[in-house]
Amino acid sequence: MDIWFLGTGAGRPTKERNVTSIALRLPDPDCALWLFDAGEATQHQFMRTPLKLNKLEALFVTHLHGDHTFGIPGLLSTRSYVGGNGPMKVFGPPGIRELVDTSLRLSGTRLDYEIAYTEIEEGIIFEDERFIVEARALEHRLPCFGYRITERDRPGKLQVEKLKELGVPEGPLYGSLKKGQDVSLPDGTVVRAAEVAGTPIKGRIVTILGDTKPCDNTVILGRDADLLVHEATFADGQQEKAHLYGHSTTVEAAEAARAAGARQLVMTHFSTRFTAEQIPALEQEAQEIFPESTAAYDLYHTSIACRQ
C-alpha cells in the first residue's frame, strides 16, 4: 500500500506547492487508486508521478472548499480520455453531487462512465471484502470529515507441503483455503483453513483527515493507525490564528498522533506564508512531540508496510 501527496499547500497554489490532493494506491491484486480531495491542477500532478488515472476507482472529499475540490471536473473528464471507463465512486459532504454535476453540465462535459455518489454522514460509509472506510466529522468552517481506512486481516500463507500431505489437490480448493474457508475432500475429510495457513496478516490502518482544529475525532479516527495524515497549516505559537480559521499547528498535529497511538504522522496543508527553507523547522517542532513526524512536500511518497 502506497500513498502519494500530490498537493500539500493550503488555500492557493504556489510555485513550490499545489493545493490538496492525496492518492492512496491499494495493494495487489488490482493496485487500484483512491483519491482524497482534488484541488485545482490535481490531474497535472498525476502526470508527474507513475500513477495511472485509469486506475482511479474512488474519490473521497473531505469538504467543499475550493482548494480541495476545484480540480474535480477536469480530473473526471480526463479519466474518460485515458480509458478509465469503469464506474466511479464519489464520497463527500452534502452538496458534492450538486458541485460536480453542475460543473459537468454547464461545461458540456460528457463522461464515459457512471458516477455513484454517496453524500456522507458519520459512520461506516464503505466496506467490501478487503476494506472498511469510516468517516467522522471534524471542526472546520464548512462541514468537514476525516476518513479511517482499515484493511481487513488476511489469512497467512498456505503451507503447501502440509496440503500435499493431506491430499488436497491444487486448484479451487487452494483458493478457498486461502480465503479462510474450510473445504471437504472427496473422501469426506474436512481440511480447516486455520490449520494449513500461516500466521494471519494484520490489516493496515490509514487515517486521512481534512482541515480541522484540534478535536476528539482526530484522535478517534487515528487510533493505532499505521499512518496518520494531519493538516499543519500553522506553526507552533500561532494557535489562536489557526483555530480562528479552523486549522491546526504542527505541535497540535503531533499531539493528536501521540494521543492516538499512531505509528507515523505525515503533516500537510502548509500555509503559503512558509517557504521551503522554513519547513524543516516546522517538522522539528512536531518531532519534539512525536518523533515519527514528517512534513510532506509535493509528490512525497511513502509505503505503508504490512504489520508484523
For 67-96, the pLDDT digits (tens) are 999 999 999 999 988 888 899 999 999 999
**Do the annotations mark residue 67 as ligand-binding?**
yes
- pLDDT of amino acid 83: 82
pLDDT at 308 over 80: no
* CB atoms closer than 10 angstroms to residue 12: 13
Nearest alpha-carbon partner for 26 in 307, 308, 304:
304
Q: Which residue has the higher pLDDT, 98 or 164?
A: 98
**Do the annotations mark residue 247 as ligand-binding?**
no
pLDDT at 9 over 90: yes
Q: Which residue has the higher pLDDT, 30 or 238?
A: 238
Q: What average pLDDT does range 213-221 have in this prediction?
A: 98
Q: Looking at this protein, which amino acid is placed at residue 270?
A: F
Output 130-139 pairs: Cβ under 8 A, ≥24 positions apart.
Answer: 130/26, 131/26, 133/60, 133/91, 134/221, 135/91, 136/217, 136/220, 136/221, 137/217, 138/62, 138/209, 138/210, 138/211, 138/212, 138/215, 138/217, 138/218, 139/212, 139/213, 139/214, 139/215, 139/246
The DSSP call for residue 29 is T
pLDDT at 233 over 80: yes
Task: At 148, give phi and psi (nearest 5°).
Answer: -115, 115
pLDDT at 28 over 90: no
| Residue 268 to residue 212: CA distance in whole angstroms | 12
Lowest-pLDDT choice from 10-14, 136-140, 147-151, 198-202? 198-202
Beta carbons of 91 and 123 less than 8 angstroms apart: no
Lowest-pLDDT choice from 26-35, 205-214, 255-264? 26-35
Helix (H, G, I), strand (E, B), or coil: what is residue 42?
Answer: helix
Q: What average pLDDT does range 126-139 have in this prediction?
A: 97
| Residue 271 to residue 250: CA distance in whole angstroms | 11
- pLDDT of amino acid 64: 98
- pLDDT of amino acid 170: 83
Grade residue 165 by pLDDT with cuts at 50, 70 and 90: confident
- pLDDT of amino acid 101: 97
Q: Which residue has the higher pLDDT, 80 or 125?
A: 125
Cell numbers found for residue 157:
500463507
Which residues face 301 on adjacent strands?
4
Residue 153 annotated among the catalytic residues of the structure:
no
* CB atoms closer than 10 angstroms to residue 179: 11
Cell numbers found for residue 238:
500561532
Three-point CA angle 86, 91, 95, nearest 5°: 120
The position carrying cell 499531539 is: 255
Could you report the per-residue pLDDT of 91-115, keeping only the tens digit for each?
Answer: 999 999 999 999 999 999 999 999 9
Which residues face 270 on adjacent strands?
9
pLDDT at 260 over 70: yes
Q: Which residue has the higher pLDDT, 288 or 28?
A: 288
Beta carbons of 308 and 203 less than 8 angstroms apart: no
Could you report the per-residue pLDDT of 47-72, keeping only the tens digit for each?
Answer: 999 999 999 999 999 999 999 999 99
* pTM of the entire predicted model: 0.90
Q: What average pLDDT does range 105-131 have in this prediction?
A: 96
Q: Over pLDDT 90: what percentage of the chain?
A: 79
Task: Determine which one of 30, 37, 67, 112 is catalytic.
Answer: 67
The residues, any chain, with a CB within 8 Å of residue 192's CB and separated by 6 or more, are 182
**Do the annotations mark residue 243 as ligand-binding?**
no
Q: Where exactly does CATH 3.60.15.10 map onto the chain?
A: 2-154+202-303
**Do the annotations mark residue 211 as ligand-binding?**
yes
Which residues face 201 on adjacent strands?
154
The residues, any chain, with a CB within 8 Å of residue 268's CB and separated by 6 or more, are 5, 8, 20, 22, 229, 230, 231, 232, 296
**Distance between start and end Cα atoms, the chain:** 15
**Do the annotations mark residue 68 as ligand-binding?**
yes
The position carrying cell 474457508 is: 181
pLDDT at 185 over 70: yes
Q: Over pLDDT 70: what percentage of the chain?
A: 100
Task: At 16, give phi and psi (nearest 5°).
Answer: -100, -30
Nearest alpha-carbon partner for 16 in 291, 290, 276:
276
Cell numbers found for residue 197:
495457513
Nearest alpha-carbon partner for 120 in 172, 174, 78, 62:
62
| Residue 211 to residue 247: CA distance in whole angstroms | 6
**CATH homologous superfamily for 2-154+202-303?**
Ribonuclease Z/Hydroxyacylglutathione hydrolase-like (3.60.15.10)
